[in-house]
């Protein structure tokens, strides 16, 4: 099981009302009848900006034995998320944005590399891709505890906010004309966007990028692992400095 879970209607409601846990998302069975407690969970989730989604009972049963979860499971993060505004105001520094990266091992490896490269923050979307779970934590070798992890509902809004605060946005895309070493990273606050394993970076984010770069390949085999690609670009930024 990748995530720490809270399950059962009453337990999830109590955790939401207490406000002392970091929720990744709440899963509700598609076959659950709408009752007072389910509606309460949805209401509290909206108030706290927590994603909830309806899913098949089979998936819930894989996480928690049938009959114990009552059609509701909350997935809990092992780390506390940072607010983007707080990060910009109080921490600052270079950021990596993961646009829909779906493999927990890739996310953990990127976070580990980012910490080693002096990156100060990681931005993750709340609805697309992997959030911080136990697999990410383990793969990062504990690096998740040494960097600001920022969860946002809209990557587009997050990138626009970064640009308004003097960040240069760099998108890694294999269709780019420029190579990653053509940029002078030494005198900028940058946000590096790395895309999903198969889909890459969304068009809306590519349009916002100040630079779009690629890692040149010597063959037509064009599937460098996203965590390896991130490491190459991040350590080029160190070399420039």
Along the 241 residues of the chain, how does pLDDT read in single tens digits? 456 899 999 999 999 999 888 999 999 998 877 789 999 999 999 999 899 999 999 889 988 876 689 899 999 999 999 999 999 999 999 999 999 999 999 999 999 999 999 999 999 999 888 999 989 999 999 999 999 999 999 999 999 999 999 999 999 998 899 999 999 998 899 999 999 888 889 999 999 999 999 999 888 776 789 999 999 999 999 998 7
- 99: phi then psi, degrees, rounded to nearest 5: -95, 85
CA proximity to 213, closest of 166, 175, 160, 156: 175
Domain covering 84-240 assigned CATH 3.40.1280.10 in the classification: yes
Assigned fold of 4-76: 60s Ribosomal Protein L30; Chain: A; (3.30.1330)
Domain ranges of the chain: 4-76, 84-240
| 4-76 matches 84-240 in fold | no
pTM of the model: 0.90
């Amino acid at each position: 099981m990748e995530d720490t879970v809270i399950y059962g209607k009453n337990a999830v409601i109590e955790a939401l009302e207490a406000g002392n846990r970091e929720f990744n998302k709440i899963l509700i069975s598609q076959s659950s009848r709408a009752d007072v407690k389910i509606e309460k969970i949805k209401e509290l989730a909206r108030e706290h900006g927590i994603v909830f989604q309806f899913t098949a009972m089979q998936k819930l049963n894989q996480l928690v034995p049938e009959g114990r979860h009552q059609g509701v499971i909350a997935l809990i993060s092992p780390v506390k998320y940072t607010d983007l505004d707080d990060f910009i105001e109080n921490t600052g520094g270079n950021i990596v944005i993961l646009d829909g990266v779906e493999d927990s091992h890739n996310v953990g490896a990127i976070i580990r590399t980012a910490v080693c490269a002096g990156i100060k923050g990681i931005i993750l979307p709340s609805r697309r891709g992997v959030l911080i779970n136990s697999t990410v934590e383990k793969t990062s070798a504990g690096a998740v505890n040494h960097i600001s992890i920022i969860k946002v509902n809209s990557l587009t809004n997050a990138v626009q906010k970064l640009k308004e605060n003097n960040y240069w946005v760099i998108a890694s895309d294999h269709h780019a004309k420029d190579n990653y070493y053509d940029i002078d990273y030494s005198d900028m606050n940058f946000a590096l966007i790395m895309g999903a394993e198969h889909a890459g970076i969304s068009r809306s984010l590519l349009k916002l990028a100040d630079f779009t770069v690629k890692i040149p390949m010597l063959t037509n085999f064009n599937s460098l692992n996203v965590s390896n690609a991130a490491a190459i670009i991040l350590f080029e930024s160190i070399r420039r400095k």
